[in-house]
Amino acid sequence: MSKYFIGVDVSTTASKALVVDEQGNVVAVKGYPHDLSTPRPLWSEQDPENWWRAASSALRDVLQQVPAEQVAAVGLTGQMHGLTSLNKDGHPVRPAILWNDQRSIAQCATITARIGEKRLYQLIGSILLPGFTAPKILWVKENEPDVYAQIAHVLLPKDYVRYRLSGAFVADVADGSGFGLMDLSKRDWSDELLDAYGIPRAWLPKLCESQDVSAYVSEEAAAITGLKAGTPIVGGAGDQPAAGVGNGIVEFGGCSLTIGTSGVAFAINTRYAPEPDGRLHTFCGPIPGTWFHMGVMLSAAGGLRWLHDTFAANMSYDEINRHAESVPRGSLGLLFAPYMTGERNPHPDPFARGAFVGLTLRHGLPHFIRAVMEGVAFGMRDQLELLRTLGVHPSEAVISGGAANSPVWRQLTTDIMGIPLYTVNTNEGAAFGAAILAAVGAGAYPNVPAACAQMVRKVDSQDPDPAGKADYERLYPAFQALYPSLKGTFAALAQYES
């Protein structure tokens, strides 16, 4: 009897369920969208019940195509860092505060001063940023004391779905790293950090490795989703480490570039070695005994979506691509700073903003389109350069996300990176990775690298154009100068946003 594995992905925009077989072939996929709330500038929230409704509906749909009794395990993935606060009865006490929410700037400064920047960085593998979960808890304590008093559990988005599937309060170490409350070298919660925040350890989920069985589907959830009661649920991973698995990046030296709503450069390490200046995240890896480095742009393909929705809503993305192709490299001297929602790496600045520089009367919509694509690709080049400082020198990299689906964007990104970029046999990176972790947890493969060797396959590769590589190499220093030149302006303008 064939075995199937399901990856459930609770992303910012939708929850989807993906079914694969033992060879890594995608058998079924279905997703439902989420609403996003931005009640104030720099705020970003969602209703956790929307995640559950979307995920359970997606599971019901894919289980119309495969028998539930042949599903050997479920893996979970999703947006990282989101604070999901529950009361003693397991009900949300407020909307979840998401990864791209910037309200906890003051709390980050307080905790950093209390613990010490160097000590904090040694523990959590990153500069403490407002996107992380822990400072959001402190924000709730200081600004919503009535809500804070009700909290009995805090979970990450995908782990709320695990809770609804099983009743278990569990997080994997890869996603749990994004709380900012772990001693990452020990792969466990840090009593030192919990004391500094004043957060009870009892609030936190139990930690497990990404491939370990963490819970089982309950009778109640089985009736709602169509899954068989008792189906194992593995730890899974946050969307970026899960996408790393889905892209086959499971050994030191490999690299993936995901250009979706956000942009992420991802690489695995076999030792805990944070970037010395804190310009990358280093978190526990989705494979036992590994860690991963991650450079994050908060807005990547989201910048192009903004341009489309605001100025070209009636235009198809095929037309958008044709406009970009019609413009020469460098967009006639128009540069785009892609910091539409603040930035993380290499510029940890919640006040950073988007900017077009070099605008003249010659520029029209096609130039803006190409400039956005180029600016995002240059931002990803910044992440790659940071990985190189840690000894990660990939000879090629996986590309995924929206940019991978645009021939012109993919080519200019290849030229800007200066190395070949290739795709793999599915563009469902995070959900696919969660399904691979489920296969390992179910015993279909002895470990994650063995599973990836069988289930992840290179589809095609695109080489840099020598002329394009040379042109962009000359333009890259001008892009690098944008943020330092505009930093003071961004800070001055922040007072006008409320």
Q: Hey, which residues are catalytic here?
A: 239
CB burial of 251-273 (b: ≥16 within 10 Å; e: otherwise) equals: eeebbbbbbbbbbbbbbbbeebe
CB 486 within 8 Å of CB 337: yes
Name the residue with tokens 């044709």: 322
Distance CA 332, CA 48 (A): 45
Beta strand spans in 93-230 (E): 96-97, 153-155, 170-172, 182-183, 188-189, 206-208, 213-216
Secondary structure (DSSP) of 11-66: -SSEEEEEEEETT--EEEEEEEE---B--STT--EE-HHHHHHHHHHHHHHHTTTS
CB 237 within 8 Å of CB 440: no
Phi and psi at 157, nearest 5°, equal -55, -50
Distance CA 262, CA 302 (A): 7
- Name the β-bridge partners of 207: 171
What SS3 state is found at 401? Answer: strand
Residue 219 CB neighbour total at 10 angstroms: 8
Evaluated on CA atoms 256, 460, 23, 432, the torsion sign reads positive
Q: How far is CA 193 from CA 97, 112, 117, 134, 143, in A?
A: 21, 11, 13, 10, 21
| DSSP-derived pairing of the beta strands 256-259 and 397-401 | parallel
Q: Please give the helix or strand (H or E) that residue 301 lies within, else none.
A: helix 301-311
CB 434 within 8 Å of CB 55: no
* Residue 446: exposure state from Cβ atoms within 10 A (0-12, 13-18, ≥19): exposed
CB 214 within 8 Å of CB 195: no
Residue 164 CB neighbour total at 10 angstroms: 21
User: 3-state SS of 65-128?
Assistant: CCCHHHEEEEEEEECCCCEEEECCCCCECCCEECCCCCCCHHHHHHHHHHHCHHHHHHHHCCCC
| DSSP-derived pairing of the beta strands 14-21 and 26-33 | antiparallel
Phi and psi at 312, nearest 5°, equal -145, 45
